[in-house]
Structure 1
Amino acid sequence: MAVRGKLKIYFSYAAGAGKTCAMLSAAREEQKDGMDVVAGIIENRDRPETEALLVGMEQIPPQEISREGTVMHEFDLDRAIRRHPELILLDELAHTNPAGSRHKKRYQDMEELLRAGINVYTTVNVQHIESLQDLVVSITGLSVHERIPDHVLDSADQVELIDIEPDDLIDRLNRGKIYHEQPQGQNASGFSPEKLIALREIALRYTASQLNRIALQISSQEANQEHYSNEHILVCLSSAASNKKVIRTAARMAEAFHGDFTALFVETPETKGLTQKNKTELRANLRLAEQLGAQIATTYGEDISGQIAEYAKTSRVSKIILGRSHSKKSWFGNTNIMDKLAAASPNMDIYIIPDTQPSLYNRFPQYRISPRLSLTSTFITFGILLVCTLIGLWFSALGFREANIITVYILGVLLSAMITEGRLYSAATSIFSVLVFNYFFTAPYFSLRAYDSGYPVTFLVMLAASFITSTLTMRVKEQARQSAKKAFRTEVLLETSRKLQQAKDPAAIINETAQQMVKLLDRTVIFYSVLPGSLSEPLIFPKEDSDANLHIYTSSSERSVADWVYKNNKRAGATTDTFSAAGCLYHAVRGGDSVFAVAAIVMENEDPLEVFDKSLVIAMLGECALALEKEQLNEKQKEISIQIQQEQLRANLLRAISHDLRTPLTSISGNAGILIGNSGVLSEEQKTGLYTDIYDDSIWLINLVENLLSISRIENGSLNLNVQAELIEEVIAEALLHLNRKSNEHIIRTVLSDELIMARMDSRLIIQVLINLLDNAIKYTGTGSHITVSAKRDKQMVVVEVADDGPGISDEAKTRIFDMFYTADNIRGDGRRGLGLGLSLCKSIINAHGGTFAVHDNFPQGALFRFTLQAEEVNVHE
């Protein structure tokens, strides 16, 4: 991964202060010192000073983009990355790229250059800082649309203030030094001395704040600790356009106090009734808070002040920033959200920022009720009115009073509100109930007139009761719906966590995460797993009943967005400022700086994600990243464990070889020396004895080396079985031919239940097993002992046994006899110490064949080793 490049920003309070010339001059000095410097994009506006500084400096050819007949020359990001200079110059960092570009803003191009390891020099005016926008507007009266988030300057390695006296700046402007096309002597809006002085003061303060922040970071790093502040700033989000001013104020306060910054959105039952315009504003405010460094949090509840207070107490918030509410006080008490919040959180500082537009936090927010007309609901409404009227006529015939009939109609309004969809039908039921009651049950009957002077009051009370009943019923329905939705979301999140814990491999983790995302969002989800250096083929998880052509979301253009997200560890795609024309929203499934997968949510023809859904998706992807990281760590741990075991095996082998091979090697070399130096003195009988000792020791060494090689192949996983059908009789006979010479001192016989017993095996390895078992029987039993090799068919298996009538094996030794480097007795029957590899090797070979290996007591005495192999049918006709 490339080392991140360094960023230096030339900062000033107005255009024409000399930022571009200062940047070019510094770049030329770096070029003289041998640095590879390239001009990416310079807005020179035909200024002679700028043109002179560009002479002799390589420039990236601009990219020509045609829009509505106009050709624009823009910075070519891809060419700059391919060129990959040490230093690149980018003028006007707040510039907005044309539609269709990879990034919406030039500062995002700059961030990609830094991630590629390229150093960047750039220029910015104070008017373009997002958190200072409201201050700039209040001074100049002009709103700047090209802005950059504060974190861009916060991430800068150097910020150099380019200062000039306001009078000198105005003089330069009047002489046409700043804008070449402006006639000399003509001033521009916003360049009065008073305004420039105010802007200059803001720039100086902001630069001082940045220098102080950098100094704090350096001192914290030198002290090897993180800077800590007990200040926690909470700003409340709303759908008002003026909420941006509240967010910027909170961001400046968080910067001034060096505290944590959180933006809270309280989702209420009325949130779904917001107009599309308000939803767009809410998403814009949410994105602004993210750009200014806020941690986004979402809660749900009808009592907004209570939700804010509860979150503030839980998160240890010290200061709450609110926009001014327009709700008025009621006769029955305080309904103003600030008053209620102050009462709920008396120990917190609450700051009220003037907010001139309606906010979502008003008690009765301005949202639009879209009447949903339904033929079914219409019939239900008229049916309820008809039933209530029939019941009323029945009650009237029975002599019941009018109050009882009114109760029937109020019950009808309640039923209508519960059954029908929307407020329209419950409101209509309330009005028609009064009219029908007046028509049928008040004198004069069958007329909408009323003789009794008290009837109008009765009608008003009935209408008010109907409206209140329907309103409360609709509210209960909405709360029940929201509670069910919240419970569903919580269930999905908990289920995701549980399923990810149970997932066995990365493929299962990705599959479970994708299925849960589809369940939560009801949208198609696409996942790309990370392979070494690239992404895998897309895994598509369609939503239920999806009939769209999903292959368009895995095209080369969409794949390029996924690749960009993987390489840059950033989100991109639809509803973002990077690759905004894509059909999917792409998120990196990341843990720190590592990307484990890329998740794509299909957004074509779909509304943007709601705030709460977005938070849940990020939480689910975080859980997925943790699970994938844990799986990756487990795999690495397994590899490390295997390496440790192999190292331990090598160490044990070396210790055993260094100790136990010394005796036979010393014996061979000593006997050989005696034969060489005293061949004429020794008798033939003595020579034969020495030759025999040399032969026995060398055979022991050969068998040991064979066992060592087999053990190493098994431990490394390189033991390849050449399994074929073999006759057991032939394999046993071959093993008997390779026994050592002392086998003649024992009685060895073979017992077969059938001469044509065949089993599937690698005969070379099974012969080695039989040789080890027979050698053990020879070495650990006395001269003249009986050793029996038998084989029989038992259903689908062949059972082979090697039994002796020696001293046998103790019960304690049986539990460890198949462990590597364990020997039942320190001294063998022939007085030579063994390595304890033979039986461990035998068990490994038999297990590799799919058989079993065990040791038992032989009757009446001795030991019996039994192993099984897969039987093979014998074709007697061949």
Structure 2
Amino acid sequence: MNERRPDPDALLRMLKDDEKTVDAGVLKIFLGMCAGVGKTYAMLEAAQRAKDAGIDVVVGVVETHGRWETEKLLDGLEVIPRKSVEHRGSSHADMDVDAILARRPQLVLVDELAHTNPTGWRHRRRYQDIDELLDNGINVYSTLNVQHLESRADDVERITGVAVRERVPDSVLAKASEVEVIDITPAELLQRLSEGKVYAKDRSIVALQNFFRKGNLVALREMALRTTAERVDTDLRSYRQRYGIEEMWPSAQSYLVAIGPTPHATRLVRWTCKVAQEHGARWVAAIVRRPGALSESQERHLQSAVSLVKELGGEIDWIDDDDVVNGLLTAAHRRNAVTIVVGKPRRGGLFSFVTGAGIVSRLIARADGIDVSVVAADDGESDDAKPKASGSYPMLIQSGPLAYVLTIATSVVMIGIGLLLLPTIGYQAVGMILLLYVSILPVLAPRGPVLVTAVLTAGAWDLLFIPPRFTLTIGRLEDQLTFTLYFITALTSTWLATRIRRREQVIRRREQRTEQLYALATDVNASSAVADIVDAIVQRTQQLLDADVAIIVRPDGAQDSDIQMYGSFTPDAKEYAVAMWVYDHSRSAGSGTETLPFATARYVPMSVNDRCVGVIGFRPRTSRTRSFEDPGVIERVVRQAAWSFERMRLNDSVSRVRQAEESERLARTIMNAVSHELRTPMASILGSASTLEEVVGDNLSDTQRQLVHDIRSSAERLDDLVTDLLDMARIDAGKVEVTQQPIDIRETLDASLGDFLPLKDGRKLFVEIDPPSPPDIQTDATIIRQVVRNLVGNAIDHTPPGTAVSITVAVRLEALAITIDDDGPGIDPTELANIFDRFVRGPRSTGSGLGLSIVRGLVEALNGRIVAGRSPMGGARFTVTIPLAPQ
């Protein structure tokens, strides 16, 4: 049978993609190896050609970087004005998506696909803006460097040593209808750099010494070309699949190796991997699942081959088919494989015909347009891979000696019935009855007993019924033809019935597995408790794999004593050690694997996003576990279990975060209320203490005067705490009022430092302003005064008497930088990470622990940032950088 049915999953994906793209726009990406190759230039040239063809083209955003050649290509194109957004006193301009949607052009140009939008934009990333444009039916041209692809970013960082911050998912490239690679040689790009056509001269020198080294460019160019080649190969497979093209299009070399439960399967895998690497080609392993059970040695051989494929970085394609040749050709067409690699059979001739071992010959005969490489097995390898037929098919009469006895006995009965009916209906009618019996028998019994029955009944018909009776001679030509047709019909019906039964078994097993996996997904997704998830996994796994399940989960940061165990069996100490090895190494181990095979169960890591969340163990309930030969089933169960436990973990995390937020909100409410309630009595206490000191201070004794001083001092400290709490509450609520106005930074500093003068305890205070006579700057004077006051006060509180505090102010066109250094003991490096957290106090601090938190909140209200570190003076350094609004 030469039929190859399309993959239903692939058809479903194509239908869904077609539904999505009916009204959606088309995305074209101009891909390059790095900046400066001419992506924007090529995009603008394509836009000009589109405009000349009558297409309505607008420019959403294009970055020319001051290159006049690129700017010239903008002539004649409508440019959508950029949109400005105010955020914390600063103005940011970027692409106006709403204006483009209102304009509704046929084509819009959106440069730098990996760009990150300013804070306050509707979408965080520009590719999300593009998605919205596409969803509204607008076609988009965009540009992208290969290093910004998520799958390539880590490789680029290893090659160039430069971390890639802006990344886009590979799905963005996959959804593009067309990808055009803009390719120039590294020598040409270096020449452009040296001529200042990419960056300014000073930046070009730095770039040539870092990212744009020739070796880096060669690697990036290869990466861009390989990415494009992979995309082209994917497009080719999709095209062939969409239009049902079965003939092979050998656009690129690729290998498909057929592996099975044989001892030389691993040799085939190694040979294919080696040849594919030598030719720089893709390779994939194909396993055809046929009805029937595998022996223990066969399972071991298959598992070894599967493990080796994964170790060598190959993929595995599982195909359910009763015909190995048909399954391999289906996989080859699905993967667009140019060469199929198979093992050389150990026997041939008549044995191959009788046992169906002539797979290689049939494959070569049917592999139109596909090369077949036959690899010989090692002489020392034993051929113990012949499948067992016993118990393979659920028939009324099972294979074995009893099957022969039953079929022969039934045949004797039918022959006896024929002898009784012979005088009435004649020998030809008796032959038809026996033929009907032989035709029905393949549905009830295996092939071997059916063939014996066919020979027995044919011989009995010749000997006992056909004239001359009781001889093997057939006199009439008609009887000779009937006898020959009898044999042909018996053999054909046996072969067809066996094929139908095997195909039925394949379809039934596939349907059962699909239904059980769907039921597993439904059950675990509907579960809201860990116990329900475990029950669903245990129940469905017993049906799928006929195995007991142990699930071992270690919560984040938990000790060994806190490990949680679920399931239908509990591992002993030895099994538990295997499970912990799997957890630590994120690799499968145990029964049926090459690692720690002494275990009675197979343990598989439950991984989510390259993080192991637990281990799941499968222990066969009987000595034969059919589905254990199919790691695909186990992988699906493990993946479902892993995501289920990850979902529960995330739900718990969300619940804890909500509780923490609620607790923090309640604490803020209480602090606000208490702070406001304390304000009035604090003012009364301070006023009374001041009055006592001023009015009757001369009439008080020394002890009384000290007590009044202590009252006033403590009240002032408490009033400072109340002020800090109110400031913190204001910052948390986002109610910091920012008033941008021209200020004299020197006067602002004098007002900030006036509270500390005159200096006490031999302290020194140095102030340096650059330039010495700075111009007025546009910012909030009140916030600047409070920031400087808090930081200087913090430096005085944490340094011993006689030390110095230095304040350096640098006024630039775009930013204000304030640096405060002291020569005290400095900050413990372990405290730097949380130095700005609220209520964090140093070992010598007597404050509330809110001062630096308030400073950070005030600085961020001005869109600035504050950094703590070690000062050249030996103590602590705090650097505040605040962007300045244009005047």
TM-score between both structures, scaled by the size of structure 2: 0.42
Larger Rg: 1 or 2? 1
TM-score between both structures, scaled by the size of structure 1: 0.43
